[in-house]
Amino acid sequence: MDARNGQVLYQKNASSPMYPASTTKILTAIIALEHSRLDEVVTVPREATRVEGSAIGLQEGERLTMEDLLYALLLASANDAAVAIAEHVAGSVPAFAALMNEKARSIGARSSNFQNPSGLPDPRHYTTAYDLALIARYAMHNPVFRTIVSTRFKQIHRPDADRSKGPPQEHLWNHNRLLSRYEGAIGVKTGYTIEAGQCLVAAAQRNDRELIAVILNSQGAAVYSDARALLDYGFSAFKPVQLAEKGEKVSSFSVTGGAEKVEAITGNSFYFNFPAGEKPSFEQKIVVHQDLRAPLATGQKVGELVFTRAGGKELGRVDLVSARAVGTSVTRRWSTWVLGAVVFLVALRLRAMMVHRWRWRRLRYPPYLR
């Protein structure tokens, strides 16, 4: 997947439900980052110390910063850190899972369901390669997340750990071997369970391009060779072409009640990857919102610029926005003022008639005759 525009360059069974194992922690981390501060102190609950699988040996009552727990989560793939984060953020693992599913839906990962923050096997805990690519693409826009998953080694601090039980694990090495074995690798997360097999979500950057590869249910070292093959293919077999530049004037048109024409410009840039060596061929169509009426604010969406291939296959869309504010026309303002004045005069006339009638009744029927 192209991380810039979400275009899928290659897929095999990308929509098949699969177990994600610890690649789940990509979503866990982004929720933690959006619902807490890095300097927040997290007290380790008993439930975190009882978790199965990979862990750094957290102790009940031990206090760590959210930042250190996130490094443990994403570098050492610590399941105990995942539970500690979940209970701190949401109060319980089920409540945190609800946040995970809500976030996944908002990102567009609608074929997934999450039951826990670690990725431990559960028949109701599944995702797809496509959904994981969407989640990773979203997460990599967060600069803190991006820094953590690209870190090879980190020393965390566990001052509250009971050292009579042995030295606590404070030196963390990133499990993602691709960081040291692939040019431009920048993350993101490994995963493994017997049920899920070897899993890897990988991201790499070369020049101004960034690609994301997702491999699920692989075996042994093949997960890394497959990731390298996918990334190499994406970088070499495709060429990005800019179809639209942000702020580019596309059209101007009249709008109901407008004092002037709307100048429609592109709200963002748009790139599409064409096969290398192929002459880019595309068509574009302007779709204007039919219910537009003045006034319009600067930057207000007024339509879309739709790019298609021959045959009608859509390549993508770019929002069209108003380059500047558009006020109501003088004629419309004048008619509004006239109507308002007429209503006001009618109201005054009705009030005068009511006052006159009231006075007439008082004169005709004095109080002592009523």
**Which residues have C-beta within 8 Å of that of residue 281, sequence separation ≥ 6?**
309, 310
Is 154 designated active site? no
Residue with tokens 């061929």: 281
SS (H, E, C) the chain: CECCCCCCCCCCCCCCCECCHHHHHHHHHHHHHHHCCCCCEEECCHHHHCCCCCCCCCCCCCEEEHHHHHHHHHCCCCHHHHHHHHHHHHCCHHHHHHHHHHHHHHHCCCCCECCCCCCCCCCCCEECHHHHHHHHHHHCCCHHHHHHHCCCEEECCCCCCCHHHCCCCCEEECCCCHHHHCCCEEEEEEEEECCCEEEEEEEEEECCEEEEEEEEEECCCHHHHHHHHHHHHHHHHEEEEEEECCCCEEEEECCECECCCEEEEECCCEEEEEECCCCCCCEEEEEECCCCECCECCCCEEEEEEEECCCCCEEEEEEEEECCCECECHHHHHHHHHHHHHHHHHHHHHHHHHHHHHHHHHHHCCHHHC
Is 22 designated active site? yes
Is 12 designated active site? no
d(CA 60, CA 67): 18
Question: How many Cβ atoms from other residues are within 10 Å of residue 280's Cβ?
Answer: 12
**Which residues have C-beta within 8 Å of that of residue 257, sequence separation ≥ 6?**
293, 294, 328, 329, 332
Question: Could you say which of 12, 16, 25, 150 is catalytic?
Answer: 25
Question: Could you say which of 22, 112, 118, 218 is catalytic?
Answer: 22
Question: Could you say which of 15, 36, 77, 249 is catalytic?
Answer: 77
d(CA 234, CA 227): 11
Amino acid at 233: Y
For the annotated catalytic residues, the residue numbers are 22, 25, 77
